Amino acid sequence: MDVTLGGFQTSELTTAQVEALESYLAPLADSVRALVDATIRSTLDEKGTRLAKARIDEATALLRGSQLPGPAGVHVNAEGRSWHWGNAAAGLRNALAPPMLLEFDQAGRVSSELDLGAAYEGPPGHLHGGVAALVLDHLMGVTASAGKVPAVTGTLTLRYRRATALGRIRVEGWVDRYEGYKTYVVGRIADSDGVTVEAEGVFVRPRWARDPSIPSSPTPSHLEEP
């Protein structure tokens, strides 16, 4: 199903149009990220809380006036520019995602520096172990596919050496070896005092990406045209 977004048909977006959309969609999601943090940390009384809630509900009603019928999905245009704005770890439009900006060095190492605050808490003052898993899974999956071939997680093993302090963290990953459709990736998280979590993952090329006759970005069945 094709949709109109900011006056453009999503299937026909040029890279310049994708970037024009991102110029106002990214600040919207950044505002929601700030709101998520402020919501957790608010000490307003009931009356003040209800005033804030009314503003939020007004914003939601405005946005609900024109919506995609389902999740955002993954898109690639004719220029090879891809965008996955809804991704739970890296999506530009997803306020749950930090989002992760990934850097690729010449040796094939992928890294990301993140500032994770109150919304990512598990043990008091520390990163939730499951959020550590989320950011590692995501970065290691990208490492496996190296931006070219899609890869989904087969197995992921995480060793938590100690609690990760909230604040600035560094996530990194690199390919250990390839075996057929499997890519073995190593990853780790460090806070300002050093490595806190180590991970190993086996990533698998999905069946639809092994057969060149299948489009690289399939529409999920519930979003297909009837």
Report if residue 146 touches a copy of itself, rule: CB under 8 A: no
At 175, phi and psi to the nearest 5? -80, 130
Q: Are 188 and 198 in contact (CB under 8 A)?
A: yes
Tokens representing 121 are: 């808490």
CA distance 169 to 113: 6
β-bridge pairing 110-116 and 152-160: unpaired
Tokens representing 81 are: 């520019």
Tokens 């005033």 label which residue?
A: 51
Of 106 and 192, which CB lies nearer to a copy of itself in the complex structure? 192
Of 107 and 131, which CB lies nearer to a copy of itself in the complex structure? 131
Report if residue 149 touches a copy of itself, rule: CB under 8 A: no
Report if residue 145 touches a copy of itself, rule: CB under 8 A: no
Of 18 and 120, which CB lies nearer to a copy of itself in the complex structure? 120
Going residue by residue from 23 to 52, which x/- string records binding to a copy of itself, judged by CB under 8 A? -xx-xxx-xx-xxx-xxxxxxxxx-xxxxx
Q: Which of 1, 102, 149, 163 binds a copy of itself (CB under 8 A)?
A: 163
Q: Which of 80, 107, 157, 213 binds a copy of itself (CB under 8 A)?
A: 157
Of 106 and 211, which CB lies nearer to a copy of itself in the complex structure? 211
Nearest to 201 by CA among 163, 156, 168: 156
Tokens representing 122 are: 């598990």
3 state DSSP class of 112: strand
Report if residue 130 touches a copy of itself, rule: CB under 8 A: yes
Site for a copy of itself in 197-216 (CB under 8 A): 206
Report if residue 125 touches a copy of itself, rule: CB under 8 A: yes
Of 15 and 42, which CB lies nearer to a copy of itself in the complex structure? 42
CA distance 99 to 135: 10
CA distance 40 to 37: 5
Q: Which of 62, 180, 213, 225 binds a copy of itself (CB under 8 A)?
A: 62
Stretch that binds a copy of itself, among 11-19, 102-110, 158-166, 180-188 (CB under 8 A): 158-166
Report if residue 110 touches a copy of itself, rule: CB under 8 A: no
Spatial neighbors of 88 by CB under 8 A, at least 6 apart, are 94, 96, 97, 134, 138
3 state DSSP class of 179: strand
Stretch that binds a copy of itself, among 11-19, 84-92, 168-176, 179-187 (CB under 8 A): 84-92
